[in-house]
């Protein structure tokens, strides 16, 4: 075996490994002495079915942990794919009361807050707390479960939420598995082929940008850049194209602005509106990205042949008309 890695390298490696996973998103809630608490989380899983038990990992510096340590029951709320703003609100920055202003929350005295419009809600009675470093592993017995089978889950990957195309593809795969036709998804569905092609380009782009010293760009940010490059500048239009709420786009643009990736300016044609454009920094990033994409196309042409590449581009550039199933 090679030399043991130092702690700093281990932490960086572990974060990188975990970012490669696709995780469902939940909001952990609690109520103690009349105060309601909420925090977003992805570290949770089942422990046992006899008795039915779950575990959640909570940062011991979070106010929710203090309530749980005092014996409060835990609400484990699994978010639906339309509830990105609920996750962002509970992820930090908002006051405890403000966290419950988004979403259809069921508030009952003595019970943890529960989302009526999420994929599922569970109430856990803590039976064991194990401290490890900055966090605590809380094991709780499930005392109540409610779920809605027709909702798709909110998913988190590589520092960002899945964009709608990925969600649709996952739903197609899930439906195929439900019908016992999962193998049919390998061939015959062009949408899956396009998804694989997109990820091939995006992963190559991300790796090359990292090699050039650029900060990590999430797929959500990458999709935002793509829309801005196409001339989409109004946040409302960006939200519609990305299939997310205006609040979610506003939050994402604020974060990108703080990272000096975009500039948000008043719309001269409408004082109530705003326009988004590339910052000087992101303009340089975009120039590198375009150069990398050109190199990736050359690589693809070498792999499949220039004639096949030109044919593929020609087919994709054609006007497909409006998608309509009769």
pLDDT, tens digit (0-9, with 9 covering 90-100), for 212-269: 888 777 777 777 888 888 788 888 888 877 766 677 788 788 888 888 889 999 888 8
DSSP-derived 3-state class of residue 125: strand
What is the mean pLDDT of the segment spanning 125-131?
Answer: 95
pLDDT at 183: 53
Among 120-124, 205-209, 238-242, 249-253, top mean pLDDT goes to 120-124
Q: Is pLDDT at 56 greater than 80 in this prediction? A: yes
Least confident of 68-82, 145-159, 285-299, 304-318: 145-159
φ/ψ of residue 49, rounded to 5: -105, -5
Please state, for a pLDDT cut of 90, what percent of the chain lies above it. 35
pLDDT grade for 1, boundaries at 50, 70 and 90: very low
pTM of the model: 0.55
Give every CB contact of residue 51 below 8 A, 6+ residues apart in sequence.
Answer: 141, 142
Token reading at 61: 């510096």
C-alpha angle 199/205/209, rounded to 5°? 145
Which of 245, 240, 165, 254 lies closest to 202, judged by CA? 165
């Amino acid at each position: 075996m090679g030399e043991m890695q130092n702690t700093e390298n281990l932490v960086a490696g572990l974060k990188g490994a975990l970012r490669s996973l696709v995780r469902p998103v939940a909001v952990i809630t609690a109520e103690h002495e009349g105060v309601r608490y909420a925090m977003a989380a992805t570290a949770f899983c089942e422990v046992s079915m006899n008795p039915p038990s779950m575990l959640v990992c909570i940062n011991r510096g979070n106010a929710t942990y203090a309530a749980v340590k005092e014996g409060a029951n835990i609400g484990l709320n699994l978010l639906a794919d339309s509830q990105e703003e609920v996750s962002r609100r509970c992820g930090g920055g908002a006051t405890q009361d403000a966290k419950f202003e988004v979403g259809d929350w069921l508030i009952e005295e003595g019970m943890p807050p529960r989302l009526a419009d999420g994929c599922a809600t569970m109430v856990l009675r803590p039976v064991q707390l194990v401290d490890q470093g900055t966090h605590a592993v809380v094991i709780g017995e499930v005392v109540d479960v409610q779920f809605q089978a027709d909702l798709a889950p909110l998913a988190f990957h590589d520092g960002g939420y899945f964009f709608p195309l990925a969600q649709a593809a996952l739903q197609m795969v899930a439906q195929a598995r439900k019908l016992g036709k999962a193998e049919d998804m390998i061939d015959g569905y062009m949408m899956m082929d396009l998804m694989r092609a997109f990820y091939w380009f995006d992963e190559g782009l991300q790796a090359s940008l990292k090699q050039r010293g650029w900060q990590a760009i999430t797929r959500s940010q990458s999709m935002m850049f793509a829309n801005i490059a196409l001339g989409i500048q109004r946040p409302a239009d960006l939200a519609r194209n990305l299939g997310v709420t205006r609040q979610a786009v506003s939050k994402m643009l604020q974060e990108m602005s703080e990272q000096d990736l975009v500039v948000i300016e008043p719309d001269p044609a409408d004082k109530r509106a705003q326009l988004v454009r590339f910052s000087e920094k992101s303009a340089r990033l975009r120039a590198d990205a375009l150069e990398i994409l050109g190199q990736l196309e050359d690589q693809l042409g070498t792999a499949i042949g220039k004639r096949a590449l030109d044919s593929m581009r020609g087919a994709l550039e054609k006007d497909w008309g409006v998608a309509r199933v009769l």
